[in-house]
Amino acid sequence: MHCPKCHAPMHTYNRNGVQIEQCSGCRGIFLDYGELETLTRLEAQWAQPAPPAAPGAPAWGAPHAGHHGHGGHHRPHSFGRMLFSS
């Protein structure tokens, strides 16, 4: 398959069950019917706040005893950024 814009070869990637075509030339992203809606639904699920912790349980991402710094891992800014990060 070739890009409809610049005619460079297209590469297909599977991201969370969604087939995404990306141009190797202009880096454009092309989606088939329904894939944008699927990505939008996945983004909404990704952005939902975490359920409240059980009473007495440490908060998710809270620093652990003996660790210094910023408290560990963090989520990417958005599901979309994670999805298209390669």
pLDDT tier for residue 7 given thresholds of 50, 70 and 90 = very high
* pLDDT tens figures, 31-52: 888 888 888 888 888 777 766 6
Q: For 71-80, which contacts have Cβ atoms below 8 Å and span 24 or more sequence positions?
A: 78/43, 78/46, 78/47, 79/42, 79/43, 79/45, 79/46, 79/47, 80/39, 80/43
Residues 6+ apart with CB under 8 A from 16: 42, 83
* pLDDT tens figures, 50-86: 666 667 666 655 555 555 555 555 555 665 665 565 5
pLDDT tier for residue 3 given thresholds of 50, 70 and 90 = very high
